[in-house]
Amino acid sequence: MADYYFTPVSILVGVCGGSGSGKTTIARLVAAELGASRITFDSYYQDQAHLTPEERIGVNYDHPDSLDTVYFEHHLDLLSAGSDVEVPIYDFTNHTRTDETELVEATSVVIIEGILLLAFPEVVKRLELKVFRDCPEKVRFARRLGRDLAERGRTEASVYFQFEETVKPMHDQYVQPSLEHADIVTFFDEELHSAADRVMAAISQLASV
């Protein structure tokens, strides 16, 4: 990757895209190259501890209402102002928020990633650069299946059911249309390191203004 140098300004960069699109990889590449902090919108799911385990399964976790946007926006404001934040840690197996948090420093560039990141006007206006990773449905499902089986304690049948019942319709209704808010769109056939380089070049331009 090319070298990029930045003046000490606060820049919030959002990386959005469907589940399994490659957005997390891009966010990680950019954050690692720049020494930037990174947070994920997934950490801000609503705590479902008040529901029974059976009821939690029935929650639509791909709908915007499943996220604690007020808390998330507050943290974005703190980071933008140069204050560190304690990001919640979410238990995706039990659908509950744990008692632990993770300290995220307010570095000069903060990378924020999430499926529904650009579906909220109040979030969009807080981001100085918005990136969308576009990816075909079949590829996204295959990647999600591998991740949920390995990392989130799901069964193949449950992953398929959730994808058909909520992931696909919510993607079509909320995620894909949010592409219109993106400053940069990177498509599936663009190599991830190349996409990350484009994002860093755009950040460099913002920092030099």
- Of 173, 124, 192, 160, whose CA–CA distance to 18 is shortest? 173
**Any residues with CB less than 8 A from the CB of 37 and at least 6 apart, and which?**
31, 79, 104, 105, 106, 107, 110, 111
pLDDT digits (tens, 9 = 90+) for 109-164: 999 999 999 999 999 999 999 999 999 999 999 888 888 787 777 888 888 888 89
Architecture of domain 11-208: 3-Layer(aba) Sandwich (3.40)
What pLDDT score does 208 carry? Answer: 74
Quick check: 81 and 137 in contact, CB under 8 A? Answer: no
Distance CA 94, CA 88 (A): 15
- Of 201, 199, 203, 202, whose CA–CA distance to 16 is shortest? 199
- Average pLDDT on 171-198 reads 97
Give backbone dihedrals phi and psi of 23, rounded to 5 degrees, phi first. Answer: -65, -40
pLDDT digits (tens, 9 = 90+) for 13-26: 999 999 889 999 99
The one-letter amino acid code at 60 reads N
Given a cut of 70, whether residue 209 has pLDDT beyond it is: no
